[in-house]
Structure 1
Amino acid sequence: MKKQILRLCSVFSPDLELFPFFIDHYKKIGVDSFHIILHLPENMLHLIDEKLLVFREQGITPEKIYTGNWSGGITTSLINETINKYSDDWFIVADSDEFQIYPNDIKKIINSKNDNVDYISGCLLDRFTQDGDLPLINYDKSIWEQFPMCGFFAFPIADSWPYKITACKGHITLSEGSHAVIAEDHLITNEIICQVHHFKWTGSYINRTQKKLKQESNGEWEDDFYPFYGDELRRALDYLNKNNNKFNINSELFRVEYSPAPKYECYSKWNEIARLLESWDKQDREKFRDTLLQISM
């Protein structure tokens, strides 16, 4: 039997604060080949040597350097273009702040799939510090220990779609943000098995988000970006502004638990959230949110 090569495709912005942790995590779960695209806008090309040094320190060569304006659509096009070169190989597809955890060895999972199954689905989970603040990254400490709390914030507050395609065959076409598979001009989903731990809430979050919203208002985003993305960013910022730039990790709505290790079984509310999302009527976001609220009462 031909050895199954597990590849990974991602697009990184010039902000590489999680890059060392990201590469280390995915090497540990079995990724054989990294196809990472560096997005470095033309006005930041003077930083290219500095950014490439970060890649070299992790033994990675960029698949490509993209210098145009950002949009979610362009990012997804770059990913689809890359994975389509290896149509029969499996790819993990992850944003730069997404650390996936599977119930078993990922290679055993993909090898067990029959010929009719060519992608795996997951759900975003948010990582927090123990007191809910937004810390600077400490490179001498495990990222899991720095953000030992696991919960579910982005959808209930920011209305961000939590469903993700986490791994797929290279012939698959992903929708914007890798939130679904496109087949015959419609979106399809399947059973959710992968936990996507989202290390978004770091000390640079507010500055990064304000910069993105400024780019939106200046018309610097490409025309094909997801039209509600700016609204999602504003909702998250509004929440933080009202709460002194901290998360209330004691809120039942966020379903936060202490989960300091990258182990699938650590977060006890996982099955509850995943099964709810699978059963959700995708035409009605309020149904899923209301169900969460009822459980929290």
Structure 2
Amino acid sequence: MNLVTVCGHNTTMLYHMLRHYQPNVKNFFVNIYANYEDDPIIEEATSICRELGIEPHKVWIEEPFNWDKVTEIYNETISLKPDEWWVVADDDELQVYSKPIEEIVEECEENGWEFVRGGFIDRIGEGGDFPKITKESNVWKEMPNAGFFRYPLSRAEANKVTLLKGKHGVVSGQHFIQFDNGDTSWGDYHPLCYPIEKNFTQVHHFKWDYSVLQRLKEVSSSKLHEAFSHEYKKMLSAIEYLDYKLDLNEREFMFERVESPDYKQYRKWKPLTKKILKIGGLI
């Protein structure tokens, strides 16, 4: 099993993310996205990787927040092993599956399925706060509230491709498969997709720690079309309006307390799955 990720801007969650996947992943392809030759992100990410026995795959020197370039990096890396399976995850995404991932891959091989879908569960700290995360943190306990607030606040796409055969690529944000003929997996159920009723991967999104507030401000001010700055502006405005604290009792946010990577612990997953699939045009 291979995993591809891109680490850029900061390394807050990288250590926790890599440790989460180590029991199931043999080969890690960590791409470091830097903005200049002496960018501190290079040394920071390399140090974290090596502490965990992982050698970074490649360092890229690119302009900040160019998500189209990030997509190119994902697809170029995935294409290195077109006949093998890849976990695709940003460095703040901790995926949880309904069954052991090797069982899903085995079923896919037996039935000709070539990718697995999932959707976001947004994580936030105690009381709806944006906590400061360190390497010593237990992120599941320090960001124990699992819900769905990014889409209601900014209309950001909530679907994700979490596992795929390397012969395929992904669209920006890894939300859908990009096929060679120009089509994507957006829309109705696709015959190459692992059945959603058997598994719709939970993508626990630990993006929402203290460091995200500065990142939202920086991306919001970006002039690059590829930065999707309008979406980040919406999110920042919503968070500012809420006085930098999310209301855990807001029904639309579907919060529950989830303190471990257990697929069954988030009891609202079935209704949230339907909501996410509707967003992606899948039902």
State whether TM-score is above 0.5.
Answer: yes
Q: Aligned match of 2:201 in 194, 197, 202?
A: 194
Aligned residue number for residue 253 of structure 1? 252
Deviations 1:32-56 (A, max 9, x none): 1100100011164366334422221
Distance 2:276 2:47 in 1: 40
Deviations 1:197-241 (A, max 9, x none): 000111111111112223x13xxx3x6x26xx2121111111111
Aligned residue number for residue 271 of structure 2? 272
Between 87-96 and 42-51, the greater mean CA deviation after superposition: 42-51
Distance 1:43 1:175 in 2: 28
Change (3 A) 1:203 1:276: closer
Q: Aligned match of 1:206 in 190, 207, 213?
A: 213
Between 53-62 and 119-128, the greater mean CA deviation after superposition: 53-62
Aligned residue number for residue 98 of structure 2? 103
* Matched-pair contact (CA < 8 Å) for 2:123–2:204: yes
* Matched-pair contact (CA < 8 Å) for 1:14–1:51: no
Aligned residue number for residue 143 of structure 1? 139
Distance 1:141 1:16 in 2: 14
**Displacement after TM superposition at 1:118 (Å):** 0.6
Distance 2:182 2:75 in 1: 15
Would you say how many aligned residue pairs link Structure 1 and Structure 2?
Answer: 270
Which structure 2 residues correspond to residues 1-297 of structure 1 after superposition, within 5 A?
Answer: 6-28=1-23, 30-42=24-36, 44-45=38-39, 48-69=42-63, 70-113=65-108, 114=110, 116-183=112-179, 184-189=181-186, 190=189, 191-192=195-196, 193-214=200-221, 216-217=222-223, 221=224, 225=226, 229-279=228-278, 282=281
Distance 1:131 1:14 in 2: 27
Change (3 A) 1:248 1:44: farther
Residue type of the partner of 1:205?
Answer: V
Change (3 A) 1:181 1:51: closer
Deviations 1:131-172 (A, max 9, x none): 001111143331100111110011111100000000100010
Change (3 A) 1:172 1:281: closer
**Displacement after TM superposition at 1:96 (Å):** 1.1
Change (3 A) 1:247 1:68: same
Higher helix fraction (1 or 2): 1
Between 44-53 and 93-102, the greater mean CA deviation after superposition: 44-53
* Matched-pair contact (CA < 8 Å) for 2:125–2:145: yes
Give 3-state SS (helix, strand or coil) of 1:42's partner.
coil
Taking only aligned residues, the RMSD between alpha carbons, in angstroms, comes to 1.9
Distance 2:92 2:41 in 1: 21
Q: Normalising by the residue count of structure 2, what TM-score does the alignment of the two structures yield?
A: 0.89
Deviations 1:256-283 (A, max 9, x none): 0111111000111101111333355739
Distance 1:281 1:38 in 2: 29
In structure 2, runs of 5+ residues without a counterpart are 190-194
% same residue:
26
Between 53-62 and 104-113, the greater mean CA deviation after superposition: 53-62
